[in-house]
Chains A and B, each alone.
Chain A
């Protein structure tokens, strides 16, 4: 671990800690540099979720990531939610806490989705003001993540990267840069993913997310249900070449594979990261003209509609829930 990134530690390459892997990760402590947990799955919780959180804290550095703040919504973020989050932050001692540039509902409704924001100067001010207050309230560095989006607003007057940069600068917060989300959004809205990566203020990035997605032909859904695709690895190296070493996390939330598959993805991330850091040291880049053209082409390609089962994708993977409980069977 080295000190870097706006005073936040550089943790290496980690994974999102998900229920199907609890048993083996806790028993075998595989070579993972850190784990990330979804804050909402452990807020105010006792019982098995809290027990598993304590186990994870014994084994790995742990960071918290949220999916419910809705910082750009019409209402102020819930005080009760923030108090619960702060209690968890104090328990985990997470080096930073993150959520998304998004809104989650209006009029008291919570839609459990990460809805994209209209990119306007007015919302820059609203989101930045809230982010600064939240960072002060939580007492740890706060970071916001760029989301995958499936719609755009005619009211938007700023490119997404400019919106993100202005909020981060005005609020003095960090960025959680999701490279897969850049690719998904670029594909869905006809943007240049390289331009996105090259415009983001890399000095504010405290963490990177990598994940797989599902290409339905007409659009990509950010399902986190497979391997990171080649174009996203290319964008990841470009990010590292610009930013230097940044804590990097593999998210795999649906169709969760055997642990070995996830660990192989971690090794791939280490390898790609090393390549990019080496190029950075030499003042070069691993993305030559052909690679850059291939990335742009992938973000424009239309592979045709794929037959994919239509199902709901939970933000942050499956909850640990009572649904499969067999009462009176567990030994005390």
Chain B
């Protein structure tokens, strides 16, 4: 490691510290040894400018991507969750949109959220799904001729390729309506107490179509089948997985397949069909 590299590694660790570096004796000693002071600021005060910007910039990015979580928690608990999260993760992607990738999983570990924890986790999963599908790669729509060209005896081995702009979410709380309400309250600058909803489970496709994001509610069996297909399972095996998960027969799923496929094709969930070798 070069001298510059060693210096940069030390600075990186200091900039990720949660507390003001001007009160940090180790940071002060490091700064005095390696950094210059200006006429107006000491060396450690200059280092602190970058540390403060690290937290402010990343907090601002999470505020932008997770307005629903912020609305549930209120300022004080939001600050606690975000600062704990930033102290626990190392941003590695150049894309600030990736910063929230672990936010829901982190909230799951926060016992202090109490009864709100599942609600917060659901909202974080929903809002990160928005971030992912918002600028996911564009896919070419499914060529209907490709479906028609699949031989009848090959359907069992057919893998349906789903749109990169599709995410499937099984939610425990009605966070879609709650998020809408939170955004509307913010527009009205309404600071009255927010009524949090009771649990209400649902299965949803979060999907980008024609540059906008849509939430489509799915029947549980359709959700299970689409999830299995999204994992790359061929249709035959995906039907078995979905039937097992849903406690129904494969035959009963078969009766729904045509209708589901027509809907999924119309919405653009499926963008290609590939026959996998047996």
Residues of A within 8 Å of B1, CB to CB, are 74
A196 interface hit (Cβ, 8 Å): no
A327, B134: Cα distance in complex, Å = 11
User: Does B53 lie within 8 Å of A109, measured CB to CB?
Assistant: no
Q: Which residues of chain B from 215 to 263 have a CB within 8 Å of any chain A CB?
A: 215
B135 interface hit (Cβ, 8 Å): yes
A79 interface hit (Cβ, 8 Å): no
A81 interface hit (Cβ, 8 Å): yes
Q: How large is the interface on A (under 10, 10 to 19, 20 to 34, 35 or more residues)?
A: 35 or more
Contacts A111-B91, A150-B50, A327-B206; is A319 near B97 (CB within 8 Å)?
yes
A93 interface hit (Cβ, 8 Å): no
Choose from B59, B131, B212 the contact partner of A312 (Cβ within 8 Å): B59
User: Does A314 lie within 8 Å of B60, measured CB to CB?
Assistant: yes
A135 interface hit (Cβ, 8 Å): no
Q: Which residues of chain A from 56 to 107 have a CB within 8 Å of any chain B CB?
A: 68, 72-74, 78, 81, 103-107
A1 interface hit (Cβ, 8 Å): no
A110, B183: Cα distance in complex, Å = 30
Query: Using an 8 Å CB-CB cutoff, how does the interface string of B20-45 with A read, 1 for contact, 0 for none?
Result: 00000000000001111011110101
A332, B212: Cα distance in complex, Å = 7
Interface of A is mostly: loop
Residues of A within 8 Å of B183, CB to CB, are 324, 326
User: Does A155 lie within 8 Å of B212, measured CB to CB?
Assistant: no
User: Does B46 lie within 8 Å of A46, measured CB to CB?
Assistant: no
User: Does B211 lie within 8 Å of A48, measured CB to CB?
Assistant: yes
Query: Using an 8 Å CB-CB cutoff, how does the interface string of A119-148 with B read, 1 for contact, 0 for none?
Result: 010110010000000000000000000000
Residues of B within 8 Å of A323, CB to CB, are 64-67, 127, 130-131
Q: Which residues of chain A from 277 to 332 have a CB within 8 Å of any chain B CB?
A: 302, 310-314, 318-332
Residues of A within 8 Å of B46, CB to CB, are 150-152, 219
Residues of B within 8 Å of A30, CB to CB, are none
User: Does B211 lie within 8 Å of A330, measured CB to CB?
Assistant: yes
Contacts A47-B165, A153-B35; is A327 near B130 (CB within 8 Å)?
yes
Closest Cβ of chain B to A246, distance in Å, is 28
User: Does B40 lie within 8 Å of A74, measured CB to CB?
Assistant: no
Choose from B9, B43, B60, B134 the contact partner of A48 (Cβ within 8 Å): B134
Contacts A74-B2, A152-B36; is A311 near B56 (CB within 8 Å)?
yes
A residues within 8 Å of B by Cβ?
A: 40, 43-51, 68, 72-74, 78, 81, 103-113, 115, 117-118, 120, 122-123, 126, 150-155, 188-190, 217-219, 221, 302, 310-314, 318-332
Please list the 6 inter-chain residue pairs (A to B) with the smallest Cβ-Cβ separation, ordered nearest first: A312-B56, A330-B212, A312-B57, A74-B5, A46-B138, A68-B94
- Given contact pairs A74-B5, A322-B133, enumerate 12 new A-B contacts (beta carbons under 8 Å): A46-B139, A108-B92, A109-B91, A110-B91, A111-B16, A113-B57, A150-B49, A155-B4, A314-B60, A329-B212, A330-B210, A330-B213
Task: Write 8 A-B pairs (CB below 8 A) sorted by A numbering.
Answer: A46-B135, A112-B54, A113-B54, A313-B57, A314-B96, A323-B64, A323-B131, A330-B212
